[in-house]
Amino acid sequence: MKSKRTFQVALLLLIGSISISAQNRLIIEADRGQNTINRHIYGHFSEHLGRCIYGGYWVGEDSSVPNTRGIRNDVVQALKDIRIPNLRWPGGCFADEYHWMDGIGPREDRPKMINTHWGGVVEDNSFGTHEFLDLCEQLDAEPYISGNVGSGTVEEMSKWIEYITFDGESPMANLRRKNGREEPWKVKFWGVGNESWGCGGNMTPDYYSDLYRHYATYCRNYGDNRLYRIACGANGGDYNWTETVMKNAARHMQGLSLHYYTVPRNWGDKGSATNFDEKEYFTTIEKTLFMDELITKHSAIMDRYDPQKRVGMIIDEWGTWYNVEPGTNPGFLYQQNTLRDAIVAGINLNIFNNHSERVQMANLAQTVNVLQAVILTDEEKMILTPTYWVFHLYKVHQDATLLPISFTSNKYRQGDKEIDAVSVSASKNAGGKIHITLVNADPNNEQRISTQLVGASAKKVSGKMLTSAKINDYNSFEQPSKVTVSDFKGASLSNSGLSVVLPPKSVVLIELQ
């Protein structure tokens, strides 16, 4: 039966390849889905960095900005609207210099420190464990805490878990009660160190994997709270790191992280967030497509030590990284967010969806006012970036069933280089609706796509779209809705299937019923 279906799909692709009208050919096997797209793929990351926490989320109870217990109402509502499933905190590099007991108890008594990683500013610890977990409860999102391995101790991390999750009689549980929280919190996701190969300690993979096993032993489950322990994984294409950590510690972990940032130029001069030409745009897309190769190769290594795929790949830092906006603190990593970033986000989310057998979580860096943020704030003002609207479109994939696809794409060419013009993923939700997300990375040409549904039929099609006049268009506080979602009318159903015309430089969601 399987070989017959394979032959049918191959035949459809062959027919499409010789059809003049079918520039791009998509086949969706609507009755063959097996893997669930974990909603946690649509997670976010917020570090004590620049104006992400302070001014982004936290304004304090006495602020004129409408807030609930010091947390901005507008930011919370915007994130709830995209169904944020989890939030990673407190870093990032900051996590490995953060000592959690500095951030509990009366705020006026909390010690101040210098944020040595990010801008050299004073960190007053007014936003700590209680405030973060309050934020997650307001968001209806699961917390993901990164513990301090770099400058912390096993005892410190073990006590933090006990403080948060233990419901019995102990010094840490009683301290939590003294600080105003009677019942323990539920915290599932726990990172054991961050970027231990770099800012988290400059460790070797052998040393870190031994250290991980030591720390993970004391990351205990209390009551019915079950930790999902996430080990520090590789920086980009460091496959030796994955090999070593999986070989030495796979059975002690539930997740292994991967970090990869899309940098158009180089780390010394990353390029402007808004002032770029098509050549640099092409390079940006080419580099972001490397994510697919990274996941494929790291997954192959993980498969050797974990063929049952028990250990999830956790891509807990990803996104674009440019030079900071002129006139801003270089350590605050504040950058604008254009339609180019939306294209990058759509491509990466499609990649994560299509690798959902192994990828169980991803966290965009960073949620508010830092790097590829979905929200920018200025005092009481707030705007939603083009990347925000991609997450708005793609939220339909959360916990849906990934549908197998076969796809042949036109090429987008720049000089003597070429990449696929179109990126795609598809899913079916519990109600039977099929959702297809498509990205046309070509800024100059529309893309016509002929789609065949196998194992299902559709009677109704609708869609939403994100595009703009220029690839470097962005939303500003003066023009907050320059790049936003609109209705998409370029999809039609016929006896031969679904036909789609994607505008240049666009992200499109199609719903079939």
DSSP states of 177-205: HHTT--SPPP--EEEE-S-TTTTTT---H
Lowest mean pLDDT among 12-16, 244-248, 358-362, 475-479: 12-16
Catalytic residue of the set 97, 123, 162, 317: 317
In a shared domain, residues 142 and 107:
yes
State yes or no: pLDDT of 10 exceeds 70: no
pLDDT given at position 139? 98
State yes or no: pLDDT of 18 exceeds 60: no
Residue 439: CATH number of its domain:
2.60.40.1180
pLDDT in tens, 293-319: 999 999 999 999 999 999 999 999 999
Residue 67: CATH number of its domain:
3.20.20.80
Give residue 392's region: left, alpha or beta (phi > 0; psi -120 to 50).
alpha
Q: How far is the C-alpha of 9 from the C-alpha of 4, rounded, in Å?
A: 9
State yes or no: pLDDT of 359 exceeds 50: yes
Rg (CA), the chain: 23
Asked about 317 being catalytic, the answer comes back as yes
Catalytic residue of the set 97, 131, 195, 511: 195
Asked which of 384, 399, 414 is the last residue of a domain, the reply is 399
**pLDDT, mean of residues 378-402:** 98
**Confidence class for position 179, pLDDT limits 50, 70, 90:** very high
What length does the chain have? Answer: 513
Both tokens of 129, joined, read: 């464990």
In a shared domain, residues 115 and 162:
yes
State yes or no: pLDDT of 2 exceeds 60: no
pLDDT given at position 23? 77
State yes or no: pLDDT of 1 exceeds 60: no
In a shared domain, residues 458 and 472:
yes
Residue 176 lies in a domain: yes
> Per the structure, how many domains does the chain have?
2
495 or 47, higher pLDDT: 47
In a shared domain, residues 313 and 275:
yes
In a shared domain, residues 375 and 415:
no
**Confidence class for position 495, pLDDT limits 50, 70, 90:** confident
Q: How far is the C-alpha of 101 from the C-alpha of 280, rounded, in Å?
A: 45
Residue 503 lies in domain: 24-31+404-512
pLDDT given at position 496? 79
Q: How far is the C-alpha of 298 from the C-alpha of 198, rounded, in Å?
A: 19
In a shared domain, residues 71 and 93:
yes
Lowest mean pLDDT among 31-35, 73-77, 132-136, 396-400: 31-35
Asked which of 373, 399, 425 is the last residue of a domain, the reply is 399
Residue 222 lies in a domain: yes
Q: How far is the C-alpha of 136 from the C-alpha of 65, rounded, in Å?
A: 19
pLDDT given at position 8? 52
**Element at 15 (helix H, strand E):** helix 2-17
**pLDDT, mean of residues 123-133:** 98
In a shared domain, residues 453 and 372:
no
Asked about 195 being catalytic, the answer comes back as yes
pLDDT given at position 17? 47
pLDDT given at position 7? 47
pLDDT given at position 269? 97
* Mean pLDDT over each residue of the chain, to the nearest integer: 95
What pTM was estimated for this model as a whole? 0.94
Both tokens of 501, joined, read: 């015309």
In a shared domain, residues 260 and 353:
yes
**pLDDT, mean of residues 444-449:** 96
Asked which of 381, 399, 417 is the last residue of a domain, the reply is 399
Residue 4 lies in a domain: no
In a shared domain, residues 75 and 198:
yes
Q: How many helices (H) and strands (E) does the chain have?
A: 11, 27
In a shared domain, residues 369 and 453:
no
Kindly list the distances between the CA atom of residue 88 and the CA atoms of 45, 73, 142, 364, in Å, as whole numbers in the listed order. 5, 19, 9, 10
DSSP letters of 459-481? Answer: S-EEEEEE--SSTT-B--SSSTT
Both tokens of 512, joined, read: 């079939």
State yes or no: pLDDT of 20 exceeds 50: no
Strand partners, 123: 113
In a shared domain, residues 300 and 325:
yes
pLDDT in tens, 71-110: 999 999 999 999 999 999 999 999 999 999 999 999 999 9
In a shared domain, residues 304 and 393:
yes
Residue 3 lies in a domain: no
